[in-house]
Amino acid sequence: MEHPKNFVILGAGTGGTLAANRLRKMYPESDLQIDVVDQDNDHVYQPGLLFVPFGLAFPDEIVRPRDRQLHDGINYHENPVEKVDIEDNKVTLENGTELAYDALLIATGSVLEPGETEGLTDTGWMESVFSFYDLPGATALAEKLSTFRSGRLVINIIDMPIKCPVAPLEFAFLADWFFTENGVREDISITYVTPLDGAFTKPTASATLAELLVKKNIELVTEFNTGEVDGEAKKLIGYDGTEVEFDLAVVIPLHGGAAYVHDSPGLGDELGFIPTDNQTLQSTVADNVFVLGDAADIPASKAGSVTHFEGEVLMENIEAFLEGKPLEASYDGHANCFIETGFSKALLIDFNYETEPLPGHYPGPVGLPLLKESRLNHIGKLMFQSFYWHGLLQGRDVPGLGPNMPTSGKHTADA
């Protein structure tokens, strides 16, 4: 390259950070200038939010400064994005700074939109109606749960897509464990209310998870489309008029793309997500715009593992793009997640666009058990936080673990 090209990354969360650090290793500063933008300096380890309401994690353990996760030679701008101009290849920040780019990576994730649901943020919000999907919500809920001794706990997903689609189930399992530990489980009913037609999106895992709900005496209400949350009467009201009463509601609000996407002509869809090629992760709105993680509209879970696996593929394609070559790396939709089931156990599921979660072992025949509760998976889930800060964000590869879904340890006969 003749002179340094400008590479701008929007978002310094999981995707933006790992991409910036990998690119910095791939190119010297004389070839590529890297600018990263985010609106604040709090990088939240989002999987940790699940544990906060139960006193199993504390805010100061799961938040670190964003700029400290970025390697030397990366410019960090702490300012909200105002808009992206894909015609002029330029990003404008709210403080007026303009960043011209040769290539742009969008990694601004998804935002919670509780205001989109009638009544959700009115009477009762943060008193009897909570969300644990951000730090203020998770922290407030911790206080509420510590004094909740009897009544009806209702967990409700308003609609897909949401970040980490298994987290609400994990919340239900942990609530069962938490109330049991506190000796009040008999006085509390737990109901899981979902717009899906089962406990989860994928059939085999959905059946296993539904069995677990039964075993833990958690009621499952499916195909419920919440139209309104009435905090005064304490009930969820479906669009078809059906109602679910609660004493304490834990609601997962609607998700959308970051606000600036709506102010950037031609960049996003109606919900603020960026139209993206499922395989190359190049946006379909402009050749020099790439998308990593939750911000993309691809049919993969909005989850850190997806972002992690996408990241490796994306780096190859960005390299090809910068060198004017065709994009050949292809993401297969690989995702995996530990599903905390309470009592120091967890399940692990592993899947991609084509293959649903199967039983067996990961990443090979000798490995963590898949789709089965085990203590080993729980330990894996807890240990992951350390790997997140020190391995994943730093852009380190894991020996023997590539981005594509492994099949060697899986029982594929019934697939």
Partner 1 sequence: MPNAVLAGIEVEVNDEGFFEDPTQWTEEMATELADIYGVPTPLTDQHWTVLHFMRQEFFEKGTGPTVRKLGKTSGVTVKELYQLFPKGPAKLAARVAGIPKPRGCI
Binding residue for partner 1 (CB under 8 A) from 96, 183, 299, 326? 299
Rounded to a whole number of angstroms, the minimum distance from the CB of residue 224 to partner 1 is 11
Rounded to a whole number of angstroms, the minimum distance from the CB of residue 413 to partner 1 is 22
Residue linked to tokens 């793309």: 257
Q: How far apart are CA 389 and CA 17, in angstroms?
A: 10
What is the torsion angle, in degrees rounded to the nearest 10, for the CA atoms of residue 369, residue 372, residue 374 and residue 379?
A: 60
**CA 111, chain centre distance (Å):** 10
Residue linked to tokens 């005064």: 232
Binding residue for partner 1 (CB under 8 A) from 26, 271, 286, 320? 271
Give CA angle at 78 (75, 286), nearest 5°.
70
Binding residue for partner 1 (CB under 8 A) from 14, 39, 156, 201? 201
Q: Does 72 bind partner 1 (CB under 8 A)?
A: no
Beta-bridge partner residues of 369 = 361
Alpha-carbon radius of gyration of the chain: 22
**Cα-flanking dihedrals φ and ψ of residue 54, to 5°?**
-100, 10
Q: Does 198 bind partner 1 (CB under 8 A)?
A: no
Q: Does 159 bind partner 1 (CB under 8 A)?
A: yes
Number of residues in contact with partner 1 under rule CB under 8 A = 14
Q: Three-state SS for 316?
A: helix
Residue among 210, 126, 139 nearest 173 (CA):
210
Segment contacting partner 1 by CB under 8 A, of 101-109, 156-164, 317-325, 406-414: 156-164
Pattern of binders to partner 1 over 235-264, x per CB under 8 A? ----xx-------------x----------
Q: How far apart are CA 336 and CA 405, in angstroms?
A: 9
Rounded to a whole number of angstroms, the minimum distance from the CB of residue 240 to partner 1 is 6
Q: Does 60 bind partner 1 (CB under 8 A)?
A: no
Q: Does 58 bind partner 1 (CB under 8 A)?
A: no
Q: Does 301 bind partner 1 (CB under 8 A)?
A: no
Q: Does 160 bind partner 1 (CB under 8 A)?
A: yes
Q: Where does this chain bind partner 1 (CB under 8 A)? A: 159-161, 201, 223, 225, 227, 239-240, 254, 269-271, 299
